[in-house]
Chain A
Amino acid sequence: MSTDHLEVAQPDHRPRPRHRAVWVLALLATVGLLAGACSSGSSTTSTATTVAGGASGSVIHVPADHPTIQSAVNAASPGDLILISPGIYHEAVDVTTDYLDLRGIDRNTVILDGTFQFENGVRVLGAKGVAVENMTARNYTNNGFFWTGVEGYRGSYLTSFRTGNYGLYAFDSTKGQFDHSYASGSPDAGVYIGQCQPCDAVIDTVTSEHNGLGYSGTNSGGNLTIVNSIFRHNRAGVVPNSGSYEQCYPERKTTIVGNVVYDNNQADTPAIDVALLAMGNGILVAGGRQNDIERNLVYDHERTGIGLVPFPEEDANDKVPTSEQMERPCSDQKHDPTPDPKSAGTVIWPAADNQVLDNVVSGSGLGDLAFGDLSGEGPASENNCFSGNTFTTSAPTDIETVAPCTGTGSGDPKAGSLDLAALIASERPPAGDYKVTPEPPAQPNMPDAATAPARPATDVPMAVDLAAIAVPTKPTDG
């Protein structure tokens, strides 16, 4: 069964009480207040924030009630569940209605296919609390699933592959969550969260492979947690980064715990220039600050396992802000005066104030743990620290002695320091074509997708008990 991408205006014959949307909104607001009053704390650093309460709207079936997903979305009211039957839908779906839940009945057979003509599979623009669940997007020229300018979002049990930019993409959005999802075949990043501070977001149980970058986060952070996920076979694995090509710089305060990051040296993936440059690194903080990288299992990288490096931005739009300036939330920074485009020359974003704790890292060509700087004064000069890690090689050589997370460092920070020139100078295989990325195997379905009630993204992000997360074991296929 295939549906056409053209919207077909269909009368909605379902009984719909007048002013139903008003009632649903009132219910949302009321339950939201109750939920907010009843939220309880736990031993987490990732706090669930209620945007509004749960919803109980109508169920709109596609194609039974509406022939296309877009026509169903257009007819929906806040709180509705759009339940999509198996089929290939040649659509680019835009969502501008708050608190919808778009759900496929079967993740592997509900397929949005852009045929390399449409830009985004599902794009949520400024609509609060929209959840997208249990479906696949493939063959889009830009993104698989894209939220922009929203408060409250969730992508669960999603599969995205062969997309020209990102797979799962949240931009200028807060209070969100990606979980149980898969992304491959994006030249930039399989999973991307950018321009938010604080983001208040969680990435949990995600697999990202065969991308330029497994995860990229430009100018994001602040209660942003990446846990229990797998990043493998990308050019580079997890790459928080800074740059003035987006607002709210720099990247800071991302927490990366309990992930498996391995073999990110993949030579045949699609890749933007940054991904080519970052190739061969597991977790690479490129000009980021105040990040916590703890209890990850990282192995088999041609360059570094966990690296902290400066990021040079040529023809930057603005200079690095002062410490005071960068403490402001993104909502304030967005109103800063507009600098002249590309007027700031080459700007170096330092990696500073990061801590790397209790990771297990092995098999890295230039260093399991590494820090690079322009001054040669070592990681402690930028207040970075390394402690409790299991590793064999590092740059500088005695990195945990030079820059411990407790006490005062000692030793020579220049001994065995990271050769940045070597890190960047060697040849990289050219970018592959995202359009030929292999189709992934079938992915696990959301439980009870056909019967579970609507669940808009009103309870995001999920609470994460970071203290309970141990270093993961090696996967059987890794």
Chain B
Amino acid sequence: MSQRRWVVVGVVAMGALLLGGCGADTTASATGAGDVPDASAGAQPAGAQAGEVTIAAVDNVFKADTITVTAGAKVTWTNAGRNDHNIKPVDTGQFGVDTGSFKPGSTYTATFSTPGTYHYYCSIHGTKDRGMIGTVEVVS
């Protein structure tokens, strides 16, 4: 193997080393915000996403920070940052994941069945209305 090849392998290995602690094994899964999707929801409203929707929790913002989904959508957050994050609902008890279950590389999924506006935040990097905050708007 050439020196250059070794270097490439080494650098890729370095990347693996960097992210070795961030594997997907700790995937969290949860269902929140209501029950079975409303089958009578009808046509998807303009701008609303249906099915499975992803949000990246990078350091230190949710991206996209505001999404609109139809009732029944599964929203998956991925901790795509290097730091710890969590997801705390502004109104308690709806959905959310603690820091320990949402380490870098982890995902968390919640199903939103009931129309409404669901605000959330990362308590490490924000408060209920400042910093690392997000909103899931659920329409029927």
Q: Which residues of A contact B (CB under 8 A)?
A: 94, 96, 119-120, 125-126, 142, 148-149, 165, 171-172, 188, 194-195, 218, 243-247, 272-274, 276-277, 310, 312-315, 317, 334, 338-342, 346, 348, 374-376, 419-421, 423-425
Contact = CB atoms under 8 A, between A and B. Distances in A.
Contact of B131 (A148, A165, A272, A314): A148
Contacts of B7: 374, 376, 419-421
Interface of B: 3-4, 6-21, 54-56, 58-61, 63-64, 78, 80-84, 104-105, 123-127, 130-132
Given A148-B126, A315-B19, 16 more contacts: A94-B127, A148-B131, A149-B130, A149-B131, A165-B83, A171-B60, A171-B125, A172-B60, A245-B59, A246-B59, A246-B81, A246-B82, A273-B18, A341-B58, A421-B10, A424-B10
Contacts of B59: 171, 194-195, 218, 245-246
Contacts of A376: 3-4, 7
18 contacts: A119-B123, A120-B124, A126-B130, A171-B125, A194-B59, A244-B58, A245-B80, A312-B11, A312-B18, A314-B18, A317-B56, A341-B54, A341-B80, A342-B80, A419-B7, A420-B7, A420-B11, A423-B10
Given A243-B82, A245-B82, A340-B54, A312 B14 contact: yes
A110 to B, nearest CB: 24
A329 to B, nearest CB: 16
B64 A125 contact: no
A242 B92 CA distance: 36
What 9 pairs across the A-B complex have the smallest Cβ distances? A421-B10, A312-B15, A314-B15, A341-B80, A341-B78, A125-B130, A341-B56, A424-B14, A246-B59
Contacts of A148: 60, 125-126, 131-132
A173 B130 CA distance: 14
Contacts of B123: 119
